[in-house]
């Protein structure tokens, strides 16, 4: 086994280290989600945590890590008698993003189950992680089917595997730790709420601290074992402190004042459900035990709120993360009392703190020095919210026939409120990434047929299997009761579910669309479509055109909030190079087809259809639209033309694209009865 980077050698990142250590002290806190940019040692810190956890006793020979003091009565390897066990190190099990369902939950040998009638079960990662850590790197990129299993196991503390009447259940209680880069997309709210704490990490801007990070990393790469040996003392001290805090935890008292502050804080920030209150209470208790105190203070409650609430107060992926700390302080002061315990003067620092963290390197980064004990996280600075709407300036939109005028850039217009949109789908059946937009062949969904298995059998089609085996029973010596099934008879169920698509927005930001009220409605419509794309697990991209050319504002990504940010700051004005926008979109889709050929594109053009610039601009638009029609790209034109006299240019563009046109009013799901079932398009022959 390779030598892991020591936890105490990690420089800085106080919030991250504190959140991980609190979970080590009290696994009931519920895990931690680490959000941050790439290259910030998120995975390094999480992997190092496993080395600090105490050993766990297990039943000898049990593949499901049953506790010998209270064995699982439903353990597939049981029943076990209570008694002494054998200690082993706490496991950290990593769930790869591309893992299969069988790898996560375990698999049944269906051939043996049918032919021999035995439950031959091979445990999966959930069984291996029982009583340990389940670590999911890039958790926001997990497929929905894996997320569903994680949610079930986290909620019930058990995993169920059922297939063709064969059922297996085993305990699966684990510490869930995930890392993610928000630029690659957000998590489903249901999974987000399963993480007890969340922290935001970023690379330090302090040159001295960055130098120390590089120095330590180079030393570790040159001699991992020697580097770990130099930090062995700090690791042992931190391990002992975790054990001491665990022993003290049952004695910590959570007073009524602290409970009222917790409840008031969750109510003030309008957090859904009661899980946040429970997590805050457990976190505040763990903070007190970590500081060596038996009473919870208001500082513990405040720190618990900063760790437990930011990811729970987001109502949509476009909400800015973080908490209003002034509001938090006002709430704690309003609901504070006099019967809460004072900080214990006999704590490690004499002030209820965490001890001397000054390291030999003088970086003040916590685990890099001293006893390797990180301080309580410093109060984060104010977080950036949404951009403030700019002041209103009267702008006259140029008439369609006006000559070339100097491009005058207008200040960004705030978007109107988003709404629930129609369902826009790509026709046909695909086989791309799991999602909720278009029909696709998937491992989940309704059964539509059967085929011979290609590789391992995962979903048995029982009727088709029986039909395949029935004609051969006499030849197999069965003339009476009984039924012989051979491997060649097995049939895989073909299922149809939903896939996520690549939704590429092409937005007109020119002078013809620059009337401020209309551009606000346009941005609101695109924001609504972005929210719909987030809910349906799509990738999105954003192309805008104005002035002389088109620009890829946002390359295709899973981060729809990044697209919303670009949209909010989108300036307007100038000519209308519609053809350039369509050509740029064609180039983007061509590259994306090479990168991810299974993810089918949906082109959404938001325009009034007008085009200016260059000779015969409408002819250029028709030629550019023909490129998409020839590729068979599904397309929708959102017609933004308003006023008593309408030219109908957007409808003509939709015909050239081989797609369909909808107005801003028709885009609302509740504007007319029924939903859009298909996007009409010219399909290239398979």
Active site residues: 275
Q: What is the 3-state secondary structure (H, E, C) of 618-663?
A: HHHHHHHHHHHHHHCCEEEEEECCCCCCCCCHHHHHHHHHCCEEEE
Instruction: For residue 486, give every residue at least 6 positions away whose Cβ sits within 8 Å of its Cβ, in sequence order, or none.
Output: 469, 472, 476
> Taking each helix axis from N to C terminus, what angle separates 578-595 and 617-631, rounded to the nearest 10 degrees?
20
Q: CB of 376 within 8 A of CB of 354? A: yes
Q: Which residues contact 56 (CB under 8 A, 6 or more apart)?
A: 65, 67, 87, 88, 89, 90, 131, 132
Apex CA 493: angle with CA 492 and CA 494, to 5°? Answer: 115
Other beta carbons within 10 Å of 273: 10
- The helix/strand/coil state of 53 is coil
**C-beta separation of 434 from 539 below 8 A:** no
Query: Is-contact 100 444, C-beta < 8 A?
Result: no
Q: Which residue has the tokens 């250029």?
A: 620
Residue found by looking up tokens 């085929």 in the block: 451
Closest CA to 291 of 307, 304, 279: 304
What are the strands, taking DSSP E only, across 71-145?
86-88, 92-94, 107-108, 121-122, 133-137
Task: Characterize the bridge pairing of strands 133-137 and 158-163.
Answer: unpaired
Please list, in sequence order, all residues whose beta carbon lies within 8 angstroms of the beta carbon of residue 303, skipping any fewer than 6 positions away.
18, 283, 284, 287, 376, 377
Reference 398, options 654, 550, 572; nearest CA is 572
H or E element in which residue 176 lies: strand 175-180
Cβ neighbour number for residue 271 with a 10 Å cutoff: 19
CA–CA gap between residue 297 and residue 254 (Å, rounded): 9
According to DSSP H, which parts of 249-274 are helical? 256-268
CA angle 477, 481, 485 (to 5 degrees): 60
Quick one: which of 406, 674, 437, 629 has its CA closest to 532?
Answer: 437
Q: Quote the crossing angle between the two packed helices 298-308 and 14-25, to the nearest 10°.
A: 100
How far is it, in rounded angstroms, from Cα 105 to Cα 149? Answer: 8
Q: Give the closest residue to 437 by CA, choosing from 351, 533, 368.
A: 533
Q: How many residues would you count in the chain? A: 686
Name the residue among 570, 576, 569 with its Cα closest to residue 405.
576
The β-bridge relationship of strands 502-508 and 601-607 is parallel
Q: Which residues contact 175 (CB under 8 A, 6 or more apart)?
A: 23, 27, 31, 132, 133, 134
């Amino acid at each position: 086994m390779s030598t892991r980077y020591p936890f105490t050698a990690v420089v800085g990142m106080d919030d991250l280290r504190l959140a991980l250590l609190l979970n080590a002290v009290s696994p009931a806190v519920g895990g931690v989600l680490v959000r941050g940019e790439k290259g910030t040692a998120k995975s390094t810190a999480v992997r190092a945590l496993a080395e600090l956890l105490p050993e766990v006793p297990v039943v000898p020979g049990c593949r499901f890590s049953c506790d010998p003091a209270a064995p699982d009565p439903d353990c597939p390897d049981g029943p076990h008698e209570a008694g002494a066990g054998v200690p082993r190190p706490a496991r950290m099990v990593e769930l790869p993003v591309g893992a299969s369902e069988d790898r996560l939950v375990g698999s049944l040998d269906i051939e043996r189950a049918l032919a021999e009638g035995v439950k031959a079960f091979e445990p999966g990662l959930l069984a291996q992680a029982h009583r340990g850590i389940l670590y999911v790197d890039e958790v926001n990129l997990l497929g929905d089917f894996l997320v569903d299993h994680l949610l079930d196991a986290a909620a019930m503390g058990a995993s169920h595997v059922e297939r063709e009447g064969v059922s297996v259940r085993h305990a699966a209680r684990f510490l869930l730790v995930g890392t993610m880069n928000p630029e690659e997309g957000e998590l489903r709210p249901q999974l987000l709420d399963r993480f007890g704490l969340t922290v935001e990490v970023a690379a330090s801007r302090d040159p001295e601290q960055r130098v120390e990070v590089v120095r330590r990393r180079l030393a570790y790469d040159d001699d991992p074992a020697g580097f770990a040996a130099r930090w062995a003392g700090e690791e042992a001290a931190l391990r002992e402190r975790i054990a001491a805090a665990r022993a003290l935890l049952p004695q910590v008292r959570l007073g009524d004042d602290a409970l009222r502050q917790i409840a008031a804080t969750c109510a003030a920030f309008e957090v859904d459900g009661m899980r946040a209150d429970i997590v805050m209470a457990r976190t505040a208790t763990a903070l007190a035990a970590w500081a060596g105190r038996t009473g919870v203070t208001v500082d513990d409650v405040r720190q618990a709120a900063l760790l437990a609430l930011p990811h729970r107060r987001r109502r949509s992926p476009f909400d800015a993360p973080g908490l209003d700390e002034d509001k938090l302080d006002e709430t704690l002061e309003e609901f504070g009392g006099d019967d809460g315990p004072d900080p214990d003067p006999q704590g490690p620092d004499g002030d209820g703190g965490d001890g001397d963290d000054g390291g030999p390197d003088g970086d003040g980064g916590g685990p890099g020095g001293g006893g390797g004990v990180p301080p309580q996280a410093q109060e984060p600075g104010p977080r950036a919210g949404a951009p403030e709407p700019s002041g209103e300036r009267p702008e006259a939109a140029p008439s369609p026939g006006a000559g070339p005028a100097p491009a005058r850039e207008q200040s960004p217009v705030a978007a109107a409120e988003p709404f629930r949109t129609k369902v826009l789908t790509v026709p046909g059946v695909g086989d791309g990434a799991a999602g909720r937009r278009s029909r696709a062949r998937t491992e989940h969904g309704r059964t539509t047929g059967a085929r011979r298995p290609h590789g391992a059998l995962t979903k048995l089609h029982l009727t088709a299997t029986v039909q395949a085996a029935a004609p051969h029973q006499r030849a197999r010596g069965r003339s009476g009761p009984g039924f012989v099934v051979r491997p060649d008879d097995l049939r895989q169920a073909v299922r149809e579910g939903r896939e996520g698509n690549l939704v590429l927005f092409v937005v007109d930001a020119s002078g013809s669309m620059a009337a401020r009220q209309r551009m606000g409605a346009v941005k609101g419509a695109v924001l609504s479509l972005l929210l719909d794309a987030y809910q349906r697990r799509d990738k999105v991209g954003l192309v805008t055109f104005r002035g002389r050319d088109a620009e890829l504002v946002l390359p295709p990504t899973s981060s729809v909030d990044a697209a919303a940010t670009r949209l909010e700051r989108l300036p307007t004005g100038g000519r209308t190079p519609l053809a350039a926008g369509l050509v740029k979109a064609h180039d983007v889709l061509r590259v994306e087809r090479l990168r991810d050929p299974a993810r089918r594109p949906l082109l959404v053009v938001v325009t009034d259809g007008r085009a200016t610039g260059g000779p015969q601009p409408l002819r250029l638009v028709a030629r550019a639209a023909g490129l998409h029609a020839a590729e068979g790209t599904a397309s929708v034109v959102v017609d933004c033309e308003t006023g008593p006299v309408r030219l109908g240019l957007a409808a003509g563009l939709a015909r050239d694209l081989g797609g369909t046109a909808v107005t801003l009013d028709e885009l609302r799901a509740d504007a007319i009865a029924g939903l859009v079932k298909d996007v009409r398009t010219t399909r290239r022959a398979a």
